[in-house]
Amino acid sequence: MASSWKINVFVIFVVSQLFANVALAAYAPDEVTNLPGLKTQPSFRHYSGYLNASGQDRLHYWFVESQNDPANDPVVLWMNGGPGCSSMDGMLSELGPFHVNSDGQTLYMNKYSWNTVANVIFLEAPAGVGYSYNPTKEYATDDDKVSMGNYLALQSFFKKFPEYASNDFYVTGESYGGIYVPTLTHRILNGNATINMKGFAVGNGITNFTTNSDSLVYFAYYHGLIGLDLWKSLNERCCDGTYCVFSQSTDIECQTLVAEALNVVYDIGLNTYSLYLDCYNGPSSVQSPLLTRYQFDMMHALGHLPKAPPKYYQPMSAILSKSKVGLVPPCINVTGVTAYLNLPNVRKALHIADEAPSWEVCSQLPYTTIYKTMYSTYKDILAKYRGMVYNGDTDMACNFLGDEWFVESLNLKKKSDRSPWMLGDQIAGFVKEFEGLSLVTIKGAGHMVPQERPAQALKMFTYFLQNKPL
């Protein structure tokens, strides 16, 4: 009996040590043990530090373990867009567990955080964005260089956290993430890294530059932004009775009319990221240096348009300047997040390198857009991975209609007709299911869906991970 008792005790000890070793396998030097601004530290573990990417690029990440079952829940990468905008905005304003109060000093817990169902990596990329940096300060980049850097950063992450390498993995993002997400997914598809990739999701993403621009003319008219006279003129000069060519038209008068329509959307003071929300600090903000970040975005979204008189199409050298809070989209309030991330004790807690600059939500980078459409990329990656394209239906920067046109152009096999999906007893939006891809709208949300409709976003995300129809 005594011998049996000793054996049982020994077995229990060995098992407990194995579990302790698993728990300690995470990269301890990067663990955030005392996050400033929180009344009570979270029950889940989280880590902040740097990942090795291309050359000397050092990409800052913030990794939050799942509040549910971190050992078995999926690992999800999140990337904001721009190009040149920081994923810390997604972390602290949208889908992360910690959100910044307006005082810029304190935090509150977000009950709709995506880490309630998944482990989430927030990656600041490329180098030159947020806390990510290169000691040489060589920041010229393009779509392919960014996807390679992100691919290498993922390999660096799984070296730090090998215990997560076998978990299901998903790539997600919004805005110019419409380029970042599928190009990185394509790298994973064709690469030799051991990543248990399962799928990808793009929110309010730029997927095709032409359809994004052309569809916006329709969006503007049917949302009451341009009048009947201009609409009739557009149809007379840009359409042949069955088909309209707006952004690619060679007709000078059509170009002028399209510029007039887009000028209403972009330049008169509307909140382009969320049509029915007010503009932070009022419409006058569109005449301030805050406009420059937005103009940078529009150069990438609309830079293919022929002729160039409107403000949104001017060369960067003519329009870019910096405000006291950096390059910030108009109508958007990031003062709290900016103040918080530049507190010395926050930088220390997050293990931010001394070489890293002050944090800004968006950075001006020498960036070259290579891809004008993600058509062939989607065709390749959907042959192996599941996808979701979702849109807040009041966003005008990357509007839902353009993404719908893009998805329909893929000619995927339809699984179900477009129908409403629910949150409780209310319609949350509409969904159409294709073989391997879900097309989802979120009613009343703008560009930043998890920020404006957090409960709806969490349900949509959870169902996607579980491969359940909405």
| Ordered DSSP codes for 317-358 | HHH---BTTBS--TB---HHHHHHHT-HHHHHHTT--TTS--
Q: Are the C-beta atoms of residues 238 and 245 closer than 8 Å to each other?
A: yes
| Ordered DSSP codes for 275-309 | TTSPPBT-GGGGGSTTHHHHHHHHHHHHTTSSS--
Tokens for 397, please give them.
């920067």
For 298, residues 6+ apart whose C-beta sits below 8 A from its C-beta are 266, 312, 313
Q: How many angstroms separate the first and last alpha carbons of the chain?
A: 57
Helix, strand, or coil (residue 368) = strand
Q: CA-to-CA distance for 122 and 98, rounded, in angstroms?
A: 12
The secondary structure of residue 114, as a DSSP letter, is G
Helix axes 209-222, 400-409, angle to 10 degrees: 130
Q: Are the C-beta atoms of residues 115 and 97 closer than 8 Å to each other?
A: yes
- Amino acid letter at 14? V
The secondary structure of residue 274, as a DSSP letter, is S
Which residues are annotated as catalytic? 175, 395, 447
**Structure-token match 């330049």, residue found:** 267
Q: CA-to-CA distance for 326 and 421, rounded, in angstroms?
A: 39
Q: CA-to-CA distance for 461 and 456, rounded, in angstroms?
A: 9
Q: 10 Å Cβ neighbour count for 423?
A: 18
Q: Are the C-beta atoms of residues 389 and 207 closer than 8 Å to each other?
A: yes
